[in-house]
Amino acid sequence: MAGTLLLVQFLNGLQLGVLLFLIAAGLTLVFGVMNFINLAHGVQYMLGAYLAVAFYGVVGNFLLALVLALIAALAFGLLLEILIFRHLYDRDHLDQIIATFGVILFLNHGVKVIWGAAPLTLPPPDVFAGSLVLMDGLLYPVWRLVIIAAGLAVAAGLYGAVNFTRVGMLVRAGATNAPMVSALGVNIERLFMMVFGIGAMLAGFAGIMIAPILSVEPGMGDNILILAFVVIVIGGIGSIRGAFIAALLIGLVDTLGRSFAVDILRLAMGPSPARTVGPAIASMLIYLLMAVVLYVRPEGLFPAKGR
């Protein structure tokens, strides 16, 4: 029974990790290449989920709704970049934080006006709606396995694009020294817009994939944004590899810690104190991990070269 629980929580942690990577990958590129703190990145995750629900209600097909929602998330992200964010690139970080926090408030209220405050749901595709027998007595939802597979596929594709294409070379160079890239004749404004659009689409994709599991509701991107910032701090700013490894690490530490903290503490204290202390320690584990990493490697585990 303990082995079965461990496997289930390991898969849940892996699922959380790939979702965090989808959000943190765009965030670390935006921060690393553009030196822009975008607190509104979490609302792209929320909008992806809402757009998927809206398009599914129109077309009635999950795959088509996913494609339409991705296109809409990309278009909306580019619209935000053109209308708001590009005017903040030369401002200091405090201005960026205040402005993007205002965008969070505006969009959270906007989805309430359009879709209401009640939680919405999105059914998974029928072919992925059941459970898979992983071992005797262990059924695991197929859709959660699809999320893991899709996240790993996106991670592999993004790693290849960043490391083995000309556009990826420019992105890596921009993360290292954006002024030099601009001086060499690269249209840095177009590069910034492309990076921002990709980041918005990845966050939207994460929201779409999680919508069949969690309720779609206003503010759903706020808490996961905090975890995404922890990911890029641990992984290293501007590093896709760092974001991937840190996201998986945080997903596993958070999930396994919440599941087994009480049992582990029972080895050193009584059941009652363990039940009291365990959940508090479990909720702090990822921040303790971040503190340890920052103490040992202040630049993160795998920072972009030049940082």
| CATH (domain of 268) | 1.10.3470
Cα 157 from Cα 267, distance rounded (Å): 44
Q: Report which DSSP code applies to 218.
A: T
Domain annotation covers residue 304? no
Dist CA 276 CA 293 (whole Å): 27
Q: Which tokens go with 3?
A: 């082995």
User: Which residue segment(s) compose the domain that 287 sits in?
Assistant: 12-296
Asked, for residue 5, whether it belongs to a domain, the answer is no
Q: What are phi and psi of 133, to 5 degrees?
A: -80, 110
Point out the residues of the chain with pLDDT beneath 50: 1
CB 204, CB 45: distance < 8 Å: yes
Q: Which residue has the tokens 């553009």?
A: 34
Q: How far is CA 225 from CA 125, 143, 203, 228, in A?
A: 27, 23, 10, 5
Does a structural domain hold residue 172? yes
Helices of type H across the chain: 2-34, 41-59, 62-83, 93-115, 142-164, 166-183, 188-210, 220-235, 240-265, 271-296
Q: How many domains does the chain have?
A: 1
For residue 307, being part of any structural domain is answered with no
- Residue 126 pLDDT: 84
CA distance 40 to 196: 12
Residue 301 within any structural domain of the chain: no
- Has residue 303 been placed in a domain? no
- Residue 149, number of CB atoms within 10 A of its CB: 11
pLDDT of residue 210: 92
Residues 6+ apart with CB under 8 A from 116: none
- Report pLDDT for 113: 92
Q: At what angle do helices 142-164 and 188-210 cross, to 10 degrees?
A: 170
The two tokens of residue 19 are 């979702």
Q: What is the pLDDT of residue 1?
A: 47
* Assessment of whether the complete model's pTM goes beyond 0.85: yes
